[in-house]
Structure 1
Amino acid sequence: MGDDLSADSRAVRDVADAYVTGLARVDPGIATYLGLPVGQEEMPDLSPEGRDRMDGLSRATLVDLDRAEQAAVGPLAPAERRCGRLLRERLQADLAVSTDDEYLREIVNVYGLQQRVQDIFQLMPTSTADDWAAAARRMSRVSQTLDGLRESLTRGLDTGHFVAAPRQVRVIADQLDAWIRDADGRGWYAGFCADADVPAPLRSELDRSAALATAAAAGMRDWLRADYLPKAEAQPDGVGADRYRTWARFWTGAELDLHETYGWAWGEYRRIRAEMRAEAESVLPGATPREAMHHLDRHGEAVDGAEAVRLRLQGWMDEALDELDGTYFELAPPVRVVESAIAPAGSGSAAYYTPPSVDFSRPGRTWLPTQGRTRFPLWSLRSVWYHEGVPGHHLQLAQWRHLSDQLSTYQAGLGGIDACTEGWAMYAERLMDELGHLRRPGERLGFLDWQMLRAVRVLVDIGVHLALDLPHDAPVGAGQAWTPGLAKEFLAVHSGQSAEFVDSEIGRYLGLPGQAVSYKLGERAWLEGRAAAEAAHAGRGERLDLKSWHTAALSLGPLGLDDLQDELAQLQAEENPPLRPRHHRDGMETRVSNGPTEAEGGSLL
């Protein structure tokens, strides 16, 4: 039974879209991310006053949401119910972070400064002189954003309680240093503007703005090292159970039983380890998984050069689109457009994805950080691009954009929850393995290596932040309490990735408590949802049509982990997708009149 999409059933979605309109005015980074013509010359305000404005909007929206739901006559239509559940849960989770003053110590190597003061420029249009003029004016205001962040961090220091861990401070200072040294010492901003074909006066303005932005980054780097770091040295790396629960809810949309989750992850770790041993034997008889992966690095198929690997990644996504559309997915033409790109200097080590604008004028893109490498073994990359591109993040997030006028602009653009999006991307990797797409030597070992990383993430993330013990049969640190050093050793033993990648991962876990568990927990929800649908169909003597189920599932929009499980279970009883993709778009109705989550940074590996 399909949803009632009549005009008088949009009250809740209208509240959600009004929130997007307000948020785009408060935070110009959100407007750029969505491709809305609002504040394109402005930068986000990271000061305490900026946070207060966002919190005020969230509280007012919750009041409006209550009124809209209470005014409804009869049960809410399914589309309204899902939007209301998502909006309320996300606003409450975000306000909980503010209530705990977590933003006063927000220093992280992903979902942080990079998205605020670097990626925002990569998402801007740059095809005309007017576009570059807007970029120049925005770039001249980078210092204001960094000053606001410094104000928030200083307030945290002054309280004595809201101070980031020293490891995170060093990571961000080093990240800023990489931006400053990029483009042969001219800085990332100068490199970004280098190829702009603009008149001489605008060229001078771009150069001045780039120099100002680079100087501001240098000032922030120096302040972190000289002033902030000495006051942070005594801070513990772990955040403790209470802070961890706040953040875990923010990333998953669920109240987790952390000890149950920790125990379940050990079971996943042991299962994957056994599979990896068997797969390593098929790659190199008698080899351990690590030995087999090192063999593949040295002797497996590889490509040389950043442009060559970019083209290979693009080819993989194009092939996947051709093979899956019409068989396991029903894709609208705009969703079939996705681009591969090389990530800028100073990015984290993990690949990531940025979704299209709401009108698809900016395409979805996958990003590969090269980390200075020029040779790229392929054995571990294919499943990554199934995760980041097709059928992973791109199919889900682009489908939400495509249905933005049927869902809401909030659901399509800002309401994503990592457990839902990263869980889908992991499900997509597994689906491609099930369909036999990991055919070349080592590709399935690469898939399992990433699976192992996600299982270890749960162990490390919960273990370090809650100072839990490793079991006595653990191959590293048996019976000891988790520490960052032990986490690094454990991860290095169980990953085929570089030492630089491992270091970046540890910084990521420490800076984003709760985010790392969203991958495996989200995958579990998606797999259980499909299993429930398969069981329901089998009970009726039928076989689940995966194309219909995938279309229906991707059309639900984003949901928190608890709500996602409920909604996927209900799909088994529906004969048609809740919202159907439209193959012809005569313009985009966004319902946005004035044009951490993961919204500003896209989705990570």
Structure 2
Amino acid sequence: MPTLRQTALLLASAALAAPMAASPVLAQTTQAAPQSEDDRLAALFAADDEANLVRNPISGLFRGDLRYADRLGDYVSDAYFDGERRAAEGNMAALAKIDRARLTTVNQIAYDIFKRNQQDAIKGLSPEFLPLTAVRPINHFFGFHTFYPNFASGTGSAPFKTVTDYENNLKRHKEFVVLLDRSIERFKQGQASGVVETKLTIRNVIEQLDTQLAQAPTESPYYGPVNTFPADFSDADKARFTAAYASIITNDIYPAYKRLRDYLADDYLKDAREGVGLKYMKGGDALYAFLIEQTTTLPLAADEVHDLGLSEVKRILSEMDSIRAEVAFKGTLNEFFDHLRTDPKFKAPTREALTQGYYDIGKQVDAVISTQFKVLPATPLEIRPYEEFREKFEAGGSYQSGNPDGSRPGIFYFNAYDLPSRTTPGMTTLYLHEGAPGHHFQISLAQENEALPAFMRFGGNTAYVEGWALYSEKLGYPMGLFNDPYQRFGHLDDEMLRAMRLVVDTGIHSKGWTREQAIKYMLDNSSMGETDATAEVERYIAIPSQALAYKIGALTIQRLKAKAESELGTRFDPREFHDQVLNTGALPMTILEDKINRWIAATKG
């Protein structure tokens, strides 16, 4: 599952726009010393980061920077896209004036990542691709209509500690309404150009909007901050905000939801496409090829990814069958899948029992984590179920990052919707992926590292972020967490999920697979329940290529680790290897490989 911070970055990342913020001019009485190449690079990064925070206020809030907290941002207008394109082109021109060879080793890495980011932004905002993406601003897995309620609920990333915080939230609500209305206009442009979303995703969006509209305003997530006023608020402020929040929900947000819902149901749905893959969308084949390279950070073709997935599925099925034999199950592997899906002993009886199970796993991991890591995050980690208003359409788990200063914890969310369809063998693996040492370690250690430029502390790419989290699942073996064969099988089942993604995502978007064909493939090759398999397939339909990055990234890290173990022998220390992988933030796979190769050579002497 993409982390909530990743979702925010997806919603407001390369496609943000506004002129570069002006830097203050300071009077100088003496001539400044000539800048080194490293200083010039740092100045470029700082200027770009400040300008990006102006364009992308949400990023600032996730980082605990409240200077622009009264803004949500404008993420769909032409001026917005044009401004972001100009910013990326300006960054490329400035970067070309810096001599990369004269930079430190770490800054050479930063230079390469920054350059790649700008190139990707320019390509994504080009006339070839922007008309294929801008006109599809929302689907059931990707959109402000589901991101923002949690963000503004009082339990999300937006702060609610002061009167100003509460006032800023009201101002952001106004911009949210504008975003929803501008999204309608974008959808209309897509209808006119023939670039449309699928009927499946739009029906799901309509259901999401119906669910939110069915809540009374005082039961809405948007009303949450009213229920948790800080103790030092005056009675007058409480009364003022109670009235203001009820009013804006009732008179602004809900009517905007209704406008979007009615337009999608009464107008757009009839023109949405039946074919769920990008293959069936105008320009879809070219867009999918671009997305594969963007998410995996490698020049891979769809057929190549599909074949890799088939080979991984075959390998994992063999290992699963060995565990079936180990536990003395007499039936076939598919019958063993059904056994795991249906036997009550693999079900959590209540939400409370499921929650306690994850608490227990967290304690087990904490007791042994130092055997694999020499640097631990300072940011605390909390464990929570998804809120009921959004749990139906969420995956099994996700991660929301904390603040760099630790004032807001990282949160591992798990899904307690439809408990009878969920099984317990994968719990350890899910925690390792979404919590520690997966997303929580990778994201927290990066953003706590103030020596890195902001785009490396707070940015990232899916292949690294999700590849690391998938790689982290395998650390259950050296940490002694997979002694139970069923938890070990759960690990293989989750690994199978990521292998099947290579097959199913490419099957849907490049080979024309149907939703039902994809669901059947996943049920035939794993012990997933139908609810989970359906949610997974509909996710791949909604966000093409994103799911490919997990396995591609993990296989790259596993290969680099095996190379280090082979070449270093007794000098190999997993704590040092993991530090090398994590201590410069999220790297594209080619850049990570170059870094690890240099570390191996230096360690060998």
Does 1:104 pair with 2:135? yes
* Amino acid corresponding to residue 495 of structure 1 in structure 2: S
- Cα gap change, 1:17 to 1:128, in 2 (>3 Å): same
Does 1:214 pair with 2:254? yes
Partner in structure 2 of residue 19 of structure 1:
48
Does 1:32 pair with 2:72? no
Q: 1:409 aligns with which of 454, 459, 477?
A: 454
1:454: Cα distance to partner?
0.8
Partner in structure 1 of residue 26 of structure 2:
none
- Show CA shifts across 1:361-384 (max 9, x none): 222111123225489643221100
- Give aligned pairs, total: 547
Q: 2:408 aligns with which of 362, 372, 377?
A: 362
Q: 1:387 aligns with which of 433, 449, 472?
A: 433
Percent identity between the two aligned chains: 22
2: CA distance, partners of 1:501 / 1:238: 22
TM-score of the pair, normalised by structure 2:
0.84
* Amino acid corresponding to residue 533 of structure 1 in structure 2: A
* Amino acid corresponding to residue 422 of structure 1 in structure 2: E
The question of whether the paired residues in 2 share the 8 Å contact of 1:306 and 1:374 is answered with no
1:280: Cα distance to partner?
2.6
- Show CA shifts across 1:531-564 (max 9, x none): 12112213xxx34111111112111221112222
Q: 2:516 aligns with which of 479, 482, 485?
A: 485
Q: 2:373 aligns with which of 314, 326, 329?
A: 329
1:260: Cα distance to partner?
2.2
The question of whether the paired residues in 2 share the 8 Å contact of 1:328 and 1:546 is answered with yes
2: CA distance, partners of 1:493 / 1:573: 45
Partner in structure 2 of residue 286 of structure 1:
330
1: CA distance, partners of 2:347 / 2:600: 43
Partner in structure 1 of residue 177 of structure 2:
143
2: CA distance, partners of 1:129 / 1:293: 54
Matches within 5 A, 1:45-56: 45-49=74-78, 50-56=80-86
1:390: Cα distance to partner?
0.7
**Structure 1 SS opposite 2:399:** strand
Structure 1: runs of 5 or more not aligned: 1-5, 468-480, 577-605
TM-score of the pair, normalised by structure 1:
0.84
1: CA distance, partners of 2:361 / 2:455: 31
- Cα gap change, 1:375 to 1:521, in 2 (>3 Å): closer
Q: 1:163 aligns with which of 168, 191, 196?
A: 196
Partner in structure 2 of residue 602 of structure 1:
none
1:272: Cα distance to partner?
0.5
Partner in structure 2 of residue 496 of structure 1:
527
The question of whether the paired residues in 2 share the 8 Å contact of 1:163 and 1:235 is answered with no
Does 1:66 pair with 2:96? yes
* Amino acid corresponding to residue 503 of structure 1 in structure 2: T
- Show CA shifts across 1:385-428 (max 9, x none): 1000111111111110111x2111111102x1111011111111
2: CA distance, partners of 1:112 / 1:54: 19
* Amino acid corresponding to residue 96 of structure 1 in structure 2: K
The question of whether the paired residues in 1 share the 8 Å contact of 2:429 and 2:491 is answered with yes
- Cα gap change, 1:79 to 1:361, in 2 (>3 Å): same
Does 1:518 pair with 2:549? yes
1:435: Cα distance to partner?
3.5
* Amino acid corresponding to residue 170 of structure 1 in structure 2: R
- Cα gap change, 1:218 to 1:57, in 2 (>3 Å): same
- Show CA shifts across 1:548-594 (max 9, x none): 11112111221112222222232212349xxxxxxxxxxxxxxxxxx
The farther-off stretch of 376-385 and 279-288 is 279-288
- Cα gap change, 1:574 to 1:406, in 2 (>3 Å): farther
**Structure 2 SS opposite 1:558:** coil
- Cα gap change, 1:135 to 1:505, in 2 (>3 Å): same
- Cα gap change, 1:287 to 1:204, in 2 (>3 Å): farther
2: CA distance, partners of 1:278 / 1:268: 16
2: CA distance, partners of 1:280 / 1:179: 44
Q: 1:559 aligns with which of 587, 595, 599?
A: 587
1:231: Cα distance to partner?
1.5
Q: 1:78 aligns with which of 105, 110, 118?
A: 105
1: CA distance, partners of 2:62 / 2:596: 28
* Amino acid corresponding to residue 84 of structure 1 in structure 2: Y
The question of whether the paired residues in 1 share the 8 Å contact of 2:385 and 2:416 is answered with yes
1: CA distance, partners of 2:548 / 2:381: 27
Does 1:546 pair with 2:574? yes
- Cα gap change, 1:253 to 1:275, in 2 (>3 Å): same
**Structure 2 SS opposite 1:391:** coil
The question of whether the paired residues in 2 share the 8 Å contact of 1:253 and 1:559 is answered with no
The farther-off stretch of 119-128 and 522-531 is 119-128
2: CA distance, partners of 1:386 / 1:222: 41
Q: 1:187 aligns with which of 198, 207, 220?
A: 220
* Amino acid corresponding to residue 344 of structure 2 in structure 1: H
The higher relative CO (CA closer than 8 Å, separation ≥ 6) is in 1
- Cα gap change, 1:175 to 1:384, in 2 (>3 Å): same
- Show CA shifts across 1:432-489 (max 9, x none): 134331233511111111111111111011122111xxxxxxxxxxxxx633221121
- The structure carrying a bigger helix percent of its residues is 2
Does 1:371 pair with 2:417? yes
2: CA distance, partners of 1:78 / 1:8: 12
- RMSD over aligned CA atoms reads 2.6
* Amino acid corresponding to residue 63 of structure 2 in structure 1: L
2: CA distance, partners of 1:419 / 1:410: 16
